[in-house]
Amino acid sequence: MQPNPADWIAQASALLKGRLLTSHGDTETYLTDWRKRYRGQALGVALPESTEEVAGLVRLCAAQGIAIVPQGGNTGLVGGSTPDNSGQSIVLSLRRMNRIRSIDPKADTITVEAGCILADIQQAAARADRLFPLSLAAEGSCTIGGNLSTNAGGTQVLRYGNARAQCLGLEVVTADGEIWNGLRALRKDNTGYDLRDLFIGAEGTLGIITAATLTLQPRPAAQVTALAAVQTLEAALELLELARTHLGPALTAFEVMSKVSMDVVRTQFGDERLPFEPLPAWTVLLESSDTESEEHARKRFESLLLLAVEGGHVEDAVVAQSLAHSQAFWRIRERIPEGQAREGANLKHDIALPLALIPDFARDAGVAIDQVLPGARIVVFGHLGDGNLHYNVAAPAGITPSEVLTFQDEIATIVYDRVQSRAGSISAEHGVGQLKRAELPLRKSPVELAMMRAIKQALDPQNLMNPGKVL
């Protein structure tokens, strides 16, 4: 089917009451990804304000064979929400669908539209004396639709699980423009295939998430944060085991930051005070949520850290003494990717590994990368508590950041081969998008790929839903 762009633009503009952007100045920010690695072309950028408008737009696209690239906050790191260069697709931005439809504190649920900013959902939950625990560095600009489409994890997976675990139901516009209302606020619903889980993590390739019913949690009476200095990843894992034993489910976050990653923060943000001098090989950030009181939480935390120091697992530790102090600890962690962005291009790898194999992986991959790119700075940080590391490679002295990109394929092979040999995953929470699409046939079995393609063919036979992503 050959699309008629002029005809489609006229119909879509009428449907959206003029909320269709077509000029270069208006569409530019929607066509380039956050890292400025991918830039595409589109017939236009659609800005629907309701699920019915999304459905009508999808039907118009299906009738003319025009592909659709759903987009939320456009904060992704794998090129999953930008169009290709054909100029024959549209970007469907859900930013204007940002209403909180309902909140039920008694049932601990909140129903929101896909364009809701994550931080706005957190604040709405707090006003109802509840907690929505999904938390990411980009929470001030990323949207819940994007979080669900990539099954985002964030900093509190250890306690609350990833986005999929925090979602009860979805509203989805299918590839033929039908509306599936699956916004069920049920903890138990064993009535056949779990359609919700098909769309979560699918990166918009099966349909468009337009709303979600999410789970809320009781607000903790207190949250206490600490930083601990350790010399090896083995010691960090020993601290994790000790923390799980002594804190149990109260342990909500366990992050790790390498010396190189902390040095990025120090170099790029001169005003940032780092807790240890000299910098240790690894810094662990721990957080505990307590149902009793701050005093109770602090005593438990200090007892844990004393045991860790006496046991030789930790060299030094500091417990936050105020909310501002805790926020300063988290700011260090959150400034690592921002600092890398300031430095320039770097090679990002979002991986997951069995916990016990992480130290061996880090040594093995580090040696192999140094043989290919001597002096490369390996910036490692992330969610050690759930086995998810952001394993990034930055330019060594004498090489510009842009030159590092020429090593992308070679270094990705080094990293992913070692992840695969240890039964890990090449994408823990960022998704596949364009960046890792070619890797999937190398890392998944033919049986897995065949099932994925069968699902794609069944739900999107015209291949109009975010084509060129994932598969």
What does the domain layout of the chain look like in residue ranges?
5-93, 100-218, 222-330, 350-436
Q: Is 167 helix (H, G, I), strand (E, B) or coil?
A: strand
CATH fold for the domain made of 222-330? Alpha-Beta Plaits (3.30.70)
- Distance between CA atoms of residues 417 and 410, nearest Å: 11
State the pTM of this model: 0.92
- Distance between CA atoms of residues 241 and 254, nearest Å: 11
Alpha-helical segments (H) within 32-191: 51-64, 118-127, 144-149, 157-160
Q: In the 8-state DSSP scheme, what is residue 466?
A: S
Q: In the 8-state DSSP scheme, what is residue 26?
A: H
**Residue for token digits 């516009």?**
173
pLDDT of residue 6: 85
Q: Which CATH architecture has domain 5-93?
A: 2-Layer Sandwich (3.30)
- Distance between CA atoms of residues 294 and 415, nearest Å: 42
**Residue for token digits 């923390």?**
243
- Distance between CA atoms of residues 283 and 308, nearest Å: 14
Q: What pLDDT tens digit does each residue of the chain (471 aa) get?
A: 677 788 899 999 999 999 999 998 899 999 999 888 889 999 999 999 999 999 999 999 999 999 999 999 999 989 999 999 999 999 999 999 999 999 999 999 999 999 999 999 999 999 999 999 999 888 999 999 999 999 999 889 989 999 999 999 999 999 999 999 999 888 888 888 999 999 999 999 999 999 999 999 999 988 899 999 999 999 999 999 999 999 999 999 999 999 999 999 999 998 888 999 999 999 999 999 988 888 888 888 889 999 999 999 999 999 998 888 999 999 999 999 999 989 888 999 999 999 999 999 999 999 999 999 999 999 999 999 999 999 999 989 888 888 999 999 999 999 999 999 999 999 999 999 999 999 999 999 999 999 999 999 999 999 999 999 999
Length of the chain: 471
Cβ contacts of residue 154 below 8 Å, gap of 6+? 134, 135, 136, 162, 383, 429
Bridge partners of residue 179, in order along the sequence = 173
**298: amino acid identity, one letter:** R
Between strands 207-215 and 167-174, the pairing is antiparallel
Between strands 100-104 and 109-113, the pairing is antiparallel
- Distance between CA atoms of residues 66 and 89, nearest Å: 6
350-436: CATH, from 3.40.5.90, 3.20.20.450, 3.30.420.40, 3.30.70.2740: 3.30.70.2740
pLDDT of residue 357: 98
Contact in structure between 401 and 392 (CB atoms under 8 Å): no
Bridge partners of residue 377, in order along the sequence = 394
- Distance between CA atoms of residues 15 and 10, nearest Å: 9
Contact in structure between 205 and 471 (CB atoms under 8 Å): yes
Q: Which of 261, 409, 284 is nearest to 338 (CA)?
A: 261
pLDDT of residue 466: 97
Element spanning 380, H or E: strand 377-383
- CA–CA–CA angle 373, 379, 385 (5° rounding): 135
**What CATH code is assigned to 100-218?**
3.30.465.10
pLDDT of residue 1: 60
Domains 222-330 and 350-436 share a fold: yes
Cα 362 to Cα 128, 212, 284, 366, 438: the distances in Å are: 43, 38, 16, 6, 24
Q: Is 359 exposed, middle or buried (0-12, 13-18, 19+ CB in 10 A)?
A: middle
pLDDT of residue 361: 98
Q: What would the pLDDT profile of 339-385 be if each residue is shown by its tens digit?
A: 998 988 899 999 999 999 999 999 999 999 999 999 999 999 999 99
- Distance between CA atoms of residues 369 and 425, nearest Å: 19
